[in-house]
Structure 1
Amino acid sequence: MTPGAGTSVGPTVARRWRALRWGLLAIAVVVGVATVSSYLSAPKPGGRMEATSTSPDGARALVTLLRENGVTVIEADSIAVVEREARPGSLLLVAQTFHLFGADLLDRLAAVPGDRLLVDPAGATRENLAPGIRRSESLSFGGIAPTCDLRAATQAGTVQFGAADSYEAAAAAPVTRCYDGVLVQYTDEGRTITVVGSALFMMNEGLLDEGNAALAMNLAGTHPRLVWFAPQRSEGTDSGGASVGDLIPTQVTWVVWQLVVAVLLVALWKGRRVGPLVAERLPVVVRASETVEGRGRLYRSRRARDRAAEALRTSTLQRILPRLGLGFAADPNSVIAAIAARSGLSPSAVSHTLHGPAPATDADLVTLVRQLDDMERLVAQS
């Protein structure tokens, strides 16, 4: 390598690196924007009646509507948050889930101040938080009319509850029953307690049916502050929330780190320093004429005059067609007529030269080559 080789290559490498750097930066920006957009617009699945869930049994749509109408919705994920956020002027919505159980949890909920809205409560939940009612024997299905004077129900009209529990008064205290008892409301020690025997009308999948959205808004939006409690994890018990790292023994962790260090040392040992690019001349230069001669010898050794003639005719057409303003998919008759008009040859002669039979001898092949060459020259000179 000459002394000036490294100097001539250096600026070229630097220019290529600058161009590559800006390209990589643009790709990184595009990937970052796409990742953020995908994360923000991706659906957020979750549990039953979870306030942030976009799944069919979630309640993201209702919570969004409540907030757009000025209701402050507090998403409580534990009983501690409920006790901290609930107050006499607020509404506590308790949605029954698989994690809402236990005497201690229900007793703490019963001691929380403010009005209550129970959604599809189980037996223990209903007995602790709404002792003034009991479940009746009948179940209601499909769309039901209010048939009561409760304003929240009369404004909503017919509602699709699906399969729902029906309730009635457990004592002599007055209880307002709507929708054949699916919705009941009564007052206990200055606290308004509302119980609904179905959660479907509040879920994302059922919110648009008939008067479902109106009833959901009328029940959950009666107070400016709503504490939403639909527990998605059990409290006071081992919920099995251990991470993958907690399940790996300590010895395995040390072995993994040792393997990582070993791989890095082997990479440093086997690595080679990459120096600047070096311009080198090719050891062999093959002339185009040698390639043509070599292919010709192959055709001759196999007596493939038909293949050779086809290759010659195709190459001639590829050079002539652009001069005639025709494409490679042009009709053969149009090509013959155009060549005849430009070269002065007869159409039959042009057709025989371009589409005639394969040469039978080497002399016929040489004659075909001369005819193709003459026809191409006449077209070029016309």
Structure 2
Amino acid sequence: MSAPVVDAPAPAAPPARRRRRGTWIAIGLVLLIVGGVGAVMQAGSQWIERDSLDPESAGPTGTRALAEILGQHGVQVRAARDHEEVETLLESGTATLVLTDTPALSDGRLRELVGLATDVVLIEPRSRTIDLLIPSAAMAGSAPDGVVQPECSLDAAERSGGIQPGALFSASGGTMACYPVEGGHGLLTSFTGEDRSSVVDGTVLFTNEHLAENGNAALAVNLMGRHPLVVWYQPALGDTDLADTEFTLGELTPPWVSPVIVLLMVAALAAAIWRGRRFGPLVAERLPVTVRASETTEGRARLYAHARDALHAADQLRIGALERLARLLGLGPGASAQEISDAAAARAGIDRGAVRRTLLDDIPATDADLVDLAMRLRRLEDAVHAHVRPERNP
């Protein structure tokens, strides 16, 4: 009767393999955590960008409160996030166009939208949009703390009262300037017939956080509420009329960068081929392996010779000579190199300075100096040996 066949248990994974597997798992988890944090931060930054001056946002930097007040005064507020939608709304009748920052819109397209509107209110001024709306205007710094009165003949400003402006602007020609502060003004208004264009820093006046302060709400309603429709242009992240907004790495860098990168890659490949090492398959070898002392000595000697490290080789020669002299002279293991040198000089009858230079002080600079040192060490050991254990005549 044959013995039953029992499957041998599968061998457990070696500890080194388990450690490597755990390392890769930890690296993967770290990458996932970093990617997740980056995605959350990116999403948060996009939300913050949309929240600023958005008429549908109830956050501190949004303008939903202003939209509600305009609605209570019979003015419809339409938030448009696409320039084509803005064009469609403005073509439907008289309307006020409220502009925030439009970095992805071309100058020509922005002029077309401004031309379709009856009134334009720029509430997030930038140098580019100010120049397009009122060519004679420019940025003039920021206002210090304090409420400023209109001091102009613009009805919308006079009825609103004092405000605490943020950015200041300068203008010339027929532009009406209100709220003067240190050579600049907090509000600029330009007229073209019955139409008007205004520039004001709405980021510190018309947001939910600051709308109830001073005459901010009144000024916003007076500037935007002249017509039954307000088209609030809040561009989305992808809203642009430019044909190609994505640039390649070659277009963003100087012309010489790409050839240099290619040259460095070729040089790295050549260096890898030149200095690379080709290892054969792993060979299983029983351990421990016995290595003869002569092989170890010759291997170290080749390393010292290849590195041209004469001083290190001399130290090894001196260490061996000191150990042999100490045993020969009967000195204990605690004897210092100076004590061994003095004892060897006294026993062999040689000058102590010469023995000290041989065992301790001389520094070989060349291979010839190293050979000379080895010969002197050999003669010193022979001299001490001859005086310690003299040969007896038969």
TM-score by length of 2: 0.44
Whichever of the two has the greater Rg, that structure is: 2
TM-score by length of 1: 0.46
Task: Name which structure has the greater RCO, CA cutoff 8 Å, separation 6+.
Answer: 1
